[in-house]
């Protein structure tokens, strides 16, 4: 009887333990499925580490007294990106090459354009573009430093927020400004008489102010949300790359980044495509020889597509993948595509010289009275 009692007791304990394991496994699967169902912004996902004796900041994430909030449970794709040569060698090397060429070139072009603002309306837009490119290039110094340290941020939370806002904000600002320049050229070529009557300098100034006003409003969310987090599994502090996206304060970045992707990259891309196609088509029908200007326009248009199309498409596909599968592996490719966007910051000054030198930056139209209409484009 004693042996039978012991065997029954062991069997009951075994069944109870098995049921507890299944319950834990089921609970874990439910938690994971609920996490996958959430839609997340353009970063890797991290789970906050619950700590004692900590204070809360505006993001409701626990923060120790002298260190950033801690995250854990990184995915394999996040670890591969943060530890791999793509983010620690390739991307920072590209950034430093862009900075080396871009900063001197934009300073030179800014000095030249400053003397032409009162004479040429295009100089206002190009000055705005050069300033935006310079701010983007200066932020690349800190981005390269972060990547070269193995994606370890050592400059504090405030600097992380400012650099993140400056980097992405000026990226979109440059794309929108380039789209505005293409619209200006489109009006000059396709509707020359209407363009001739417009107050061009005043409109260029108002457009530039509007772009910068939208830029300052757009970067506010990046400045208000916690951006740097301690990654306990890697023993380093990330800046913007890993966020607790299941937290209510950070999930708002989804809609913010989605709107910026559409309005700051995809919409300027569509506008630029339409404008340059119509410009080239209109000049091809002209009685004058516009071969040089058409080639220059085609070059500018092609470089714009190469630089901005991959980032815009990959960013959009990243969101689609999050909606459908809840995965995040496109983020590393998006960061590589962003390098192409930054490349445009060092090419813009040279593109200005190409466009201004082709046909003297003048569009000549023979009117019905036999007179020639000269328009600056």
Task: Classify residue 23: in a domain, yes or no.
Answer: no
So what's the pLDDT on residue 141? 92
So what's the pLDDT on residue 143? 94
Q: Please name every residue paired with 230 in a beta bridge, in sequence order, or none if there are none.
A: 70, 237
Task: Classify residue 13: in a domain, yes or no.
Answer: no
Residue pLDDT, tens place only, 62-113? 444 456 787 766 778 778 888 889 889 999 999 999 999 999 999 999 888 8
| Burial annotation 40-76 (CB, 10 A radius, 16+ → b, else e) | bbbbbbbebbeeeebeeeebebbbeeeebbbbeebee
Task: Classify residue 26: in a domain, yes or no.
Answer: no
Q: Is 273 exposed, middle or buried (0-12, 13-18, 19+ CB in 10 A)?
A: middle
Task: Classify residue 133: in a domain, yes or no.
Answer: yes
So what's the pLDDT on residue 365? 45
Using 50, 70 and 90 to split pLDDT, how confident is the model at 208?
Answer: very high
Judge whether residue 12 has pLDDT over 70: no
So what's the pLDDT on residue 52? 40
Task: Classify residue 131: in a domain, yes or no.
Answer: yes
Residue pLDDT, tens place only, 112-163? 888 877 777 788 899 999 999 999 999 999 999 999 999 999 999 999 999 9
Q: What tokens appear for 344 in the block?
A: 């445009």
Looking at the 3D structure of the chain, how many domains does it have?
Answer: 1
Helix axes 122-148, 91-114, angle to 10 degrees: 150
What mean pLDDT do residues 362-371 have?
44
Query: Looking at residue 362, which CATH number applies to its domain?
Result: 1.20.1070.10
Q: What is the DSSP string of 212-267?
A: HHHHHHHTHHHHHS--EEEETTTTEEEESSEE-TTSHHHHHHHHHHHHHHIIIIIH
Task: Classify residue 65: in a domain, yes or no.
Answer: no
So what's the pLDDT on residue 233? 85
Using 50, 70 and 90 to split pLDDT, how confident is the model at 258?
Answer: confident
Task: Out of 23-27, 209-213, 296-300, 344-348, pick the least confident.
Answer: 23-27
- The answer to whether 239 and 71 are in contact (CB under 8 A) is no
So what's the pLDDT on residue 328? 63
Task: Classify residue 17: in a domain, yes or no.
Answer: no
What mean pLDDT do residues 341-347 have?
88
% of the chain exceeding 90 in pLDDT: 24
Tokens 């005043």 -> residue: 202
Domain that holds residue 189: 76-376
Give the C-alpha distances (Å, rounded to integers) separating 317 from 34, 46, 254, 310, 331.
22, 21, 14, 10, 10
Task: Classify residue 3: in a domain, yes or no.
Answer: no
What mean pLDDT do residues 153-175 have?
91
Tokens 């966020």 -> residue: 243
- The answer to whether 74 and 234 are in contact (CB under 8 A) is yes
Tokens 């789209």 -> residue: 179
């Amino acid at each position: 009887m004693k042996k039978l009692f012991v065997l029954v007791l062991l069997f009951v304990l075994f069944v109870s333990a098995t049921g507890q394991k299944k319950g834990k496994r089921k609970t874990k699967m439910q938690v994971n499925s609920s996490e996958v169902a959430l839609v997340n912004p353009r970063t890797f996902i991290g789970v906050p580490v619950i700590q004692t004796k900590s204070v809360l900041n505006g993001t409701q994430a626990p923060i120790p007294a002298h260190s950033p909030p801690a995250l854990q449970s990184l995915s394999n794709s996040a670890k591969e990106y943060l530890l791999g040569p793509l983010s620690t060698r390739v991307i920072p090397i590209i950034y430093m090459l862009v900075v080396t060429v871009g900063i001197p070139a934009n300073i030179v072009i800014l000095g030249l354009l400053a003397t032409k603002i009162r004479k040429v309306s295009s100089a206002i837009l190009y000055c705005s573009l050069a300033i935006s490119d310079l701010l983007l290039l200066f932020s690349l110094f800190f981005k390269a430093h972060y990547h070269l340290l193995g994606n370890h941020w050592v400059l504090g939370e405030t600097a992380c927020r400012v650099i993140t806002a400056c980097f992405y904000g000026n990226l979109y600002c440059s794309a929108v400004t380039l789209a505005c320049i293409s619209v200006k050229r489109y009006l000059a070529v396709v509707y020359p008489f209407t363009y001739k009557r417009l107050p061009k300098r005043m409109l260029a100034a108002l457009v530039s102010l509007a772009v910068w006003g939208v830029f300052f409003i757009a970067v506010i969310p990046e400045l208000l949300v916690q951006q740097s987090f301690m990654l306990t599994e890697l023993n380093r502090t990330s800046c913007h790359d890993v966020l607790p996206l299941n937290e209510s304060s950070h999930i708002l970045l989804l809609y913010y980044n989605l709107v910026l992707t559409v309005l700051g990259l995809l919409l300027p891309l569509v506008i630029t495509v339409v404008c340059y196609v119509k410009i080239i088509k209109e000049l091809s029908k002209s009685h004058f020889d516009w071969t040089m200007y058409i080639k220059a326009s085609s070059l500018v248009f092609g470089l714009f597509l190469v630089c901005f199309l991959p980032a815009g498409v990959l960013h959009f596909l990243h969101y689609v993948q999050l909606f459908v599968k809840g995965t995040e592996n496109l983020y590393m490719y998006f960061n590589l595509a962003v390098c192409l966007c930054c490349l445009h910051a060092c090419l813009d000054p040279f593109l200005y010289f190409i466009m201004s030198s082709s046909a003297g930056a003048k569009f000549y139209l023979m009117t019905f009275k036999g007179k020639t209409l000269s328009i600056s484009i």
